[in-house]
Structure 1
Amino acid sequence: MAESDARGLRRPRETRRQLALLAELEELFLAEGFAGFTLDDLAARLRCSKSTLYALAPSKEQLAVKVVGRYFKGAAELLDERIEGIDDARKIIGEYLAGISEYLDRASAAFMTDIAEFGPARDTYQLNSRVAAGRIRSFIAKGVADGVFRDVHARLIAEMAGLIIEGIQTGVIGHRTRVSDAEAFTALSELLLGGLASRP
């Protein structure tokens, strides 16, 4: 079996061994970051050959991008599973943002710093942040339509949530407040659910 890459070219699917290596790399990068490693270091840590790593990606930089992409793809899939079957917009937003917070809490400060300082990895984070912001806008719209959120300034609040997510992703909020991205998403959940709640 083969699948298409971003350019529409067909490439073979990873083998079971390659998927296991990618999982190991993800855990290693989450714990220690990726910028400081060479391919020789990675081959030694994973007890495999450099040619095995080259079969995953042609350079350490592209390998890092692949692993970062895998991490955020896993987050998206987990979040979808977490909110599946929930109909109450308040619970959806609470579960969705709690899920983001818990998932990001797996990542060390070194990993998040390396993402912020490496353009292609940062682009992957930005894309996922934009998707998350879009999902939250749709959840707010659902809450307003269902009558569980006030419709006063709901669109404005949704846009503000998007800007906050962008601030979390770019590191501005973390730098200014000295909190982790995970903690920032927890605070955003509390802010949204408190601010949007229908008044009795």
Structure 2
Amino acid sequence: MLDDLVELFLAEGFAVFTLDELARRLHCSKSTLYAVAGSKEQLVVAAVRRFFARATVAVESRAAEPAGAGDRIEAYLLAVSEQLRPAGPAFFADLAAFPPAAEVYARNTRTAARRVQELVSAGVAAGTLRPAHASFVGAAVTEVMSAIHAGRIAAATDLDDAAAYAELAALVVAGLHRS
């Protein structure tokens, strides 16, 4: 049921729903919803956590496939893009407006940025990426990811979060390519 809730929230957001409406849409009782979480707010946070937990597993799995560091970075950021693609504008607007859910997204963004920095460090150390200051690249990626998360990239470019991550992947990989 929590996965169905995630899909509903991704498609339509969560602010507009009452528990009665959620129970009706999910074909369950309110007591079933209360068994998952004690309030609508806690249900939202549980669903957002589930979404990002599933996304993290898929992203890490995808990033583990390529052998080269540049390919791994690209795979990682493109997988982030793919995982965010089903989330509609209402979901992101509701995330931004609800601090507990926004914190889940922010925490996930920080973790993803650290992971990109680790991938850059490994590639530079292995000599498969051009010599670069991995901490700087990580800090720059963190800033862009934070701007994506905060909606500043969408406001400046009309790119949704998924498209912005795809562009970030292309930029980082091109910038680190060994000539």
TM interval, short-chain normalised: over 0.9
Question: Counterparts of 1:191 and 1:198 in 2: how far apart (Å)?
Answer: 14
1:29-178 equivalence runs, <5 A: 29-178=9-158
Question: Counterparts of 1:153 and 1:42 in 2: how far apart (Å)?
Answer: 48
Moved more, 78-87 or 31-40: 78-87
Look up the equivalent residue of 2:7 and give its one-letter code. Answer: E
Q: Does 1:181 align with 2:161?
A: yes
Q: How many residues align?
A: 179
Structure 1 segments, 4+ long, off by >4 Å, are none
User: Which residue matches 2:2?
Assistant: 22
Question: Counterparts of 2:38 and 2:46 in 1: how far apart (Å)?
Answer: 11
Q: Residue 17 of structure 2 aligns to a residue in which SS?
A: coil
Deviation at 1:173, TM superposition (A): 1.1
Look up the equivalent residue of 1:191 and give its one-letter code. Answer: L
Question: Counterparts of 2:97 and 2:152 in 1: how far apart (Å)?
Answer: 13
Report Cα offsets for 1:88-130 as digits up to 9, x if no partner. Answer: 1111111111101011001111111111110000000000000
**Contact kept? 1:115, 1:122, Cα under 8 Å:** yes
Deviation at 1:85, TM superposition (A): 4.5
The answer to which structure has the higher helix fraction is: 2
How much is the aligned-residue C-alpha RMSD, in angstroms?
1.1
Question: Counterparts of 2:27 and 2:42 in 1: how far apart (Å)?
Answer: 20
Deviation at 1:159, TM superposition (A): 1.3
The unaligned stretches of length 5 or more in structure 2 are none
Question: Counterparts of 2:128 and 2:54 in 1: how far apart (Å)?
Answer: 30
**Contact kept? 1:154, 1:196, Cα under 8 Å:** no
Question: Counterparts of 1:141 and 1:108 in 2: how far apart (Å)?
Answer: 33
TM-score under structure 2 length normalisation: 0.96
Identity %: 44
TM-score under structure 1 length normalisation: 0.86
Look up the equivalent residue of 1:55 and give its one-letter code. Answer: A
Deviation at 1:176, TM superposition (A): 1.5
Moved more, 154-163 or 132-141: 154-163
Deviation at 1:87, TM superposition (A): 2.9
Question: Counterparts of 1:39 and 1:72 in 2: how far apart (Å)?
Answer: 22
Look up the equivalent residue of 2:101 and give its one-letter code. Answer: A
